[in-house]
């Protein structure tokens, strides 16, 4: 089973989309193994978005992601990384197909509602950045 890191960004929280987005992942069959709300510090934002340092959108991105609470989770399932990315749609909501999360709820590349890891390696890095091992719960699901 694969794990991925998913985060409902400040715009998703502000727009009351938390339940809707989590519900989509649950209904799909992904298992929530960790879940919390937090306000991201400047330091954590720097580390999470380190690969974008130096890009023109880096500073606004950090300002935005630290501007209000986010909902962070670890989802588990077969091909969880790709499954979540397909459900989110591409980074730019204007390019995202109707029916995907970003295609349904977004208009702005900088306010694209949700984040999901882009590969299993980045999932492992992001999960470790946001969750202590004891915050990740292993349990069985029979339905
Ligand atoms: P995400 O893939 O979650 O992580 C990087 C974020 O940078 C991305 O979502 C976008 O929300 C944000 N971003 C803002 N402007 C741009 C841009 N011009 N190109 C790519 N990403 C951007």
Neighbours of 45 (CB within 10 A): 17
* CA 29–ligand 1 middle distance (angstroms): 27
Q: What tens digit of pLDDT does each residue of 1-25 get?
A: 999 999 999 999 999 999 999 999 9
Annotated domain spans of the chain: 2-136
Domain 2-136 has CATH 2.60.40.10: no
Q: For the chain, first and last CA: distance in Å? A: 16
Complex-level ipTM: 0.91
Two structure tokens written together for 56: 């023109």
Residue 141: C-alpha distances to residues 2, 21, 22, 30, 33 (Å): 15, 20, 17, 11, 11
CA distance 47 to 24: 28
Q: Is 104 in the pocket of ligand 1 (CB under 6 A)?
A: no
Task: Determine the distance separating the centroid of ligand 1 and the alpha carbon of 90, expressed in angstroms.
Answer: 10
* Cβ proximity of 7 and 70 under 8 Å: yes
pLDDT at 143: 64
């Amino acid at each position: 089973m694969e794990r991925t890191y998913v985060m409902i960004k400040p715009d998703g929280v502000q727009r009351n989309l938390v339940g809707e987005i989590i519900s989509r992942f649950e209904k799909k069959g992904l298992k929530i193994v960790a879940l919390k709300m937090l306000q991201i510090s400047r330091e954590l934002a720097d580390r999470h978005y380190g690969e974008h340092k130096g890009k023109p959108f880096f500073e606004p991105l950090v300002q935005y992601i630290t501007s209000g609470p986010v909902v962070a989770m670890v989802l588990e399932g077969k091909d969880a990384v790709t499954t979540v990315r397909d459900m989110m749609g591409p980074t730019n909501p204007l390019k995202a197909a109707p029916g995907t999360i970003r295609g349904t709820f977004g208009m702005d590349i900088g306010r694209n509602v949700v984040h999901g890891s882009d590969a299993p390696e980045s999932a492992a890095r992001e999960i470790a950045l946001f969750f202590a091992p004891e915050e990740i719960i292993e349990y069985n699901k029979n339905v």
